[in-house]
Structure 1
Amino acid sequence: MICKKRVTIIGHLGGKKKSCDGQTVKTKTVYSSLLLNEHFQVEILDTYYARKISLFWIKLLWNLIFSDCLIFLLASNGRKFLFPILYFVSLLGKNTINYTIGGKLYEETIEKQYYKRYVSSFTENWVESFYLLNNLKKIGINNAVYIPNFKKISPLSVNEVVHKQYHKPFMLCIFSRICEEKGIEEAMAAVTEINREFGEIVCLLHIYGPVASEFQERFTSCLKLSPEVFYMGVVSPEQSVSVIKNYYALLFPTRTFTEGMPGTIIDAFCAGVPVIARAWASCEEMVIDGETGYTYSFDKPQLLKRRILDSLKDQNWLKMRKNCLKKALEYDEKLVCEKIIGRIERVLHI
């Protein structure tokens, strides 16, 4: 009989809401993958309830005491509240794995010097980019491990993309949380300016994703001024590839330099759709200019318009689509989850 090790995942599940943000999707996928391993008895704590009910804190205390390994997937706010507690239990010898969400951990550690003490105390820190891995090493944090982002979706076959024909109007899309930080307004303005400049409808933009409440009014106003831009609602993670595959390109005009490794770009690669992205810190690890899409300087957001026009003239767009399908294999769920399970077994000496 196998003696199972108790593994507790601490992350955001969104309570009873149907959340489709990257953090929630990642937490659910990791949980479902670990459930299949015969060596683990897996528990999960939803940080959605951390500020709402005391039962969360009772369950947390129980798992802090009795779990063999704690894996926590926390964004900036979660780190602020839970890092001190997890630091304390790590000092008591508990196996603690910080599965970093987003790309801000290095900057946060520079800003908050005590974070270095927290992060260094954990058994391992899993990061999704070499940019973050190398920067943590520069400040003396040597327990970081590269674990690629991944999605529980299968790429299309080459045959499904090679026969795709494009013509005016070229269909562009955005898949993300709809808020100011995602550069939505820049994308809307670029499409409007292109069409105005040519005096015809050269391209259309479809926007998918949940709209942040604080951005709703502004977004609605922008849509009224942009007749070539349409809000298409929210699509479930399982349907992302089947929707994105119908587009010419996915736009990623983020205003956040410390983006992580966005799942929406993996969706695009699985759909064989090139990405036009503003070059955030670790962008070149995903979007290779001229191979899997186009990039433009983070300091020059106005270049989005030019890069869209460049893409419309590109004679190698079909080759790029094939490159995207190849790149998608790097983020394969099975391969990454095998690495995750291997790291946990190593920590637990299984």
Structure 2
Amino acid sequence: MSKSKFCVIGNFSRNNAFDGQTIKTLEIVDRLGEIYGKENIRECNYREIKHSKLKLFKAFFNAFHKSEKILVLANNTGVMNLIKVCTLINKIFGRDIYFILVGAALMDTVKEEPASLGILKQLKHIIVETETLKKDLLDCGLERVTVFPNFKKLRHFKTDELSTEYEKPLKLIYMSRIMDLKGFSEMIRELKRINEHSVKYVLDIYGKIEPEFKEEFEALKKDFPEYIVYHGLADAWQTSEIMHECFLHLFPTKCPTEGQPASIIDAFFAGLPTLSARWDYYADMLREGETAVSFERCNFDEFREKLEYYYDHPEEIARMRVFCSKEAEKYLPETVMNDLVKVLES
């Protein structure tokens, strides 16, 4: 059997693309298939085998044996274990390994596990989502680090398609995983405070409920007023169409190491500004007063104050829509994939 040009090791779930990691993996595989031919792209889904060391080793061994180059897509959860297995197997095969990081927590791993630097140096290339993380990794002694933005194939609402007039109550949208680390409970609490005397905002919620948060979510949901509606999971490739009639996208994360959140890219394509917590890499992705307005991470009093202010000044949000639509051009698949191909062919 002839070798595939690439094997992509990652989380695959074509029927249920719930999270940014899965969506990014599927997008890259689909685009590589368009460029090189589907027959040249092999998939290795570690989601289903990651809890069995034997199955994981066998699957990775097979991937290296039957492919010329290896792409590993992973977030920071257990990432070094995957990389260790890959570099161990690669002592036999000598393949080029490209590590595409989802999120931006790799520096935490490097600081906590100094030995990880030696393992990372064995990779052909490390591909990250932000310039700040690239600089931090280069400063640690890594040499082959490239920025590769997140991207999605979505309907792109151009500037002449954007409404700048809003009916009250104003519509907010949350489109992320539903979990404590995303600031979900605090978001609900503060919205109720804002609407205590009159309904100023309505909120549409989309996203996967993380198992560890399900009990708390169900308790919150029982007390949802009529102006808060959970719609379940959004079609990952129709998100901009869902978002585009809204007033603001909410991203109240408490996590400091977000990379390039997919929901913010969705909002760019919808021409929709974001009210966001300032995570560590906020400024790598968003521009204050143009594509987003922000609050100090975990300061939900400030979150509430910003919503109250922009309810009275909606024109300030309206003028930002054109900047968001233009920002989406950075995340078009054809733009981003050209840069990735250059790295893979170098």
Which TM class, normalised by the smaller chain length? over 0.9
Matches within 5 A, 1:313-332: 313-332=313-332
> In structure 2, what residue type is equivalent to 1:325?
S
State the secondary structure of the residue aligned to 2:152: coil
For this pair of structures, how many residues does the alignment match?
340
Residue of structure 2 equivalent to 1:29: 27
State the secondary structure of the residue aligned to 1:48: coil
* 116-125 or 135-144: bigger deviation: 135-144
Residue of structure 1 equivalent to 2:247: 248
Choose the corresponding residue for 2:198, options 189, 197, 200. Answer: 200
CA contact (8 A) 1:50 1:56 kept: yes
Distance 1:229 1:65, change over 3 A: same
> In structure 1, what residue type is equivalent to 2:255?
T
Residue of structure 2 equivalent to 1:126: 127
Q: CA deviation at 1:131?
A: 1.6
* 90-99 or 105-114: bigger deviation: 90-99
Q: Deviations over 1:154-178 (max 9, x none)?
A: 31121211x3421211110100111
CA contact (8 A) 1:257 1:281 kept: yes
State the secondary structure of the residue aligned to 1:238: coil
In 1: Cα distance, 2:91 partner to 2:61 partner: 16
In 1: Cα distance, 2:173 partner to 2:314 partner: 18
Q: CA deviation at 1:316?
A: 3.0
Residue of structure 2 equivalent to 1:108: 109
State the secondary structure of the residue aligned to 1:261: coil
State the secondary structure of the residue aligned to 2:259: coil
Q: CA deviation at 1:41?
A: 1.5
In 2: Cα distance, 1:337 partner to 1:38 partner: 12
Residue of structure 2 equivalent to 1:153: 154
In 2: Cα distance, 1:4 partner to 1:215 partner: 43
In 2: Cα distance, 1:236 partner to 1:314 partner: 28
State the secondary structure of the residue aligned to 1:36: helix
Q: Deviations over 1:314-344 (max 9, x none)?
A: 4332220000001111111111011111211
Q: Deviations over 1:92-148 (max 9, x none)?
A: 632010000111111111111121111121110000001211111221122111111
In 1: Cα distance, 2:50 partner to 2:258 partner: 26
Q: Deviations over 1:61-83 (max 9, x none)?
A: 12223422100001233414311
TM-score, length basis structure 2? 0.92
CA contact (8 A) 1:103 1:259 kept: yes
Q: CA deviation at 1:254?
A: 0.4
CA contact (8 A) 2:207 2:234 kept: yes
Residue of structure 2 equivalent to 1:170: 170
In 1: Cα distance, 2:240 partner to 2:222 partner: 28
CA contact (8 A) 2:155 2:238 kept: no
Q: Deviations over 1:208-229 (max 9, x none)?
A: 0111122122112223334132
State the secondary structure of the residue aligned to 1:254: coil
Residue of structure 2 equivalent to 1:337: 337
In 1: Cα distance, 2:135 partner to 2:336 partner: 20
In 2: Cα distance, 1:109 partner to 1:249 partner: 36
CA contact (8 A) 1:90 1:121 kept: no
Q: Deviations over 1:209-261 (max 9, x none)?
A: 11112212211222333413221111111121111112100000001000111
Q: CA deviation at 1:87?
A: 2.2
Residue of structure 2 equivalent to 1:298: 297
CA contact (8 A) 1:73 1:99 kept: yes
Q: CA deviation at 1:33?
A: 0.8
CA contact (8 A) 2:80 2:116 kept: no
In 2: Cα distance, 1:283 partner to 1:311 partner: 20
In 1: Cα distance, 2:238 partner to 2:153 partner: 11
CA contact (8 A) 2:310 2:316 kept: no
In 1: Cα distance, 2:337 partner to 2:315 partner: 37
Once the two structures are aligned, what percentage of the paired residues are identical?
Answer: 24
> In structure 2, what residue type is equivalent to 1:158?
T
Q: Which runs of 5+ in 2 are unaligned?
A: none
TM-score, length basis structure 1? 0.91
In 2: Cα distance, 1:299 partner to 1:234 partner: 26
In 2: Cα distance, 1:5 partner to 1:221 partner: 49
Distance 1:56 1:299, change over 3 A: closer
In 2: Cα distance, 1:314 partner to 1:43 partner: 49
Residue of structure 2 equivalent to 1:264: 263
In 1: Cα distance, 2:198 partner to 2:123 partner: 57
Q: Which runs of 5+ in 1 are unaligned?
A: none
